[in-house]
Amino acid sequence: MGKALEGVRVLDMTHVQSGPSSTQILAWLGADVIKVETPGRGDITRGQLRDLPGVDSLYFTMLNGNKRSITLNMKSEEGKEIFTKLVSGVDILVENFGPGVVDRFGFSWEKLQEINEGLIYASIKGFGPGRYADFKAYEVIAQAMGGSMSTTGFEEGPPTATGAQIGDSGTGIHLVAAMLAALYQRTNTGRGQRVQVAMQDAVLNLCRVKLRDQQRLAHGPLGEYPNEVFGDEVPRSGNASGGGQPGWAVRCAPGGPNDYIYVIIQPVGWQPLTELLGQPELAEDPEWATPEARLSKLDKVFALVEQWTERHTKWEVMEKLNAHNIPCGPILSTKELIEDETLAELGTVVEIDHPERGKFKTVGCPLKLSDSPVDIGRSPLLGEHNGEVLSELGYATDDLERLRTAGVI
């Protein structure tokens, strides 16, 4: 059946995480993604957080698989000429530079449209137009300004960043949806368009339930939160589920830093849970039997659960709870995840062979298409595909040497 995005060509001018995470998904789905990098250095993450000297970092290799790399000096006239030829033959151009950088190269949106009227020009910025437009944004800044940090952590503690990269990779996934929508619309209109996602907007979209709760506060305290006092803004609520069914992370044996399991108590699960706890009488006790009765003392409810879970490992608890269809999930460490046999079998964690660093593990594609299986490939070496891509543009072998000598590639 081929790949889902076979035939789609993407010019990837992104760097660090937000942009590369989006173009890697396009590459996984079969698009030909050509990563344009600065000669001699490339994407800054090639050298950031290195664990092996002189070798592309895991930061880079885990965000740039299945792509081709070319180097191009965008400040040179011949570099701009090559870039023009590249733009004329691609479907999507993606960038996550600061505001106005591509324009300063001499390629405004109007100019790009002249070169290729069907081009989809996709950008990730920190913020949308307005007072924040020219501010720099990083992962945790986006979390801070998108509502995540103010609602993450425990009530008496400071605002806390989440380990999930919702500012960078979260924005990248939003951009994928926007690019595919524009690509689909082009099949009807024949026209390309500008596509932009702001990191602040993406984080706020992921935090929408907190805006839900902000408005609910006008009508009284949030009963499903463990907090005793409510002000005029949504508080940090620890490990509360924040949804319609109460949940909490409870300790398990032998008591290590990640020996916890998250348990959600649905109404239908209360009776079998009381049996596991060795207190079946609580299933009929009016002080405990209904969700309404339990809501005012969730701390006591989960204290009872924890008295039981502390006598078992999180894996034992998971088996016992799932046998009664009680929703739960052990807290998995990064070590447990990277060594998980099931995740390896599913292709959720995959092993890649890199020509310089050897074998390493990375995440697989989370998107599963029945007719378009994803093959996870390695990231390209800097400028590895200069000859290949430029030959496709009509450049001869002797042209390549001249361009290298001139510092164009």
CA distance linking residue 282 with residue 272, whole number of Å? 10
358: left (phi over 0), alpha (psi -120 to 50) or beta: left
Contact predicate 87/72, CB 8 Å: no
Pairing of strands 247-251, 194-198: unpaired
Active site residue 12: no
Q: Sign of torsion, CA 341 344 349 350? A: positive
CA distance linking residue 392 with residue 397, whole number of Å? 12
> What are the residues facing 232 on neighbouring strands?
none
Q: Which residue is catalytic, options 43, 91, 168, 259?
A: 168
CA distance linking residue 396 with residue 394, whole number of Å? 6
**344: amino acid identity, one letter:** A
Tell me the CB-side half-sphere exposure of residue 143, using CA atoms within 13 A: 21
Residue 121 token pair: 């020009």
CA distance linking residue 364 with residue 374, whole number of Å? 9
- 45: helix, strand or coil: helix
Residue 98 token pair: 């600061």
Cis-peptide, bond into residue 291, ω within 30° of zero: no
Pairing of strands 358-363, 349-354: antiparallel
- 299: helix, strand or coil: helix
Active site residue ranges: 168
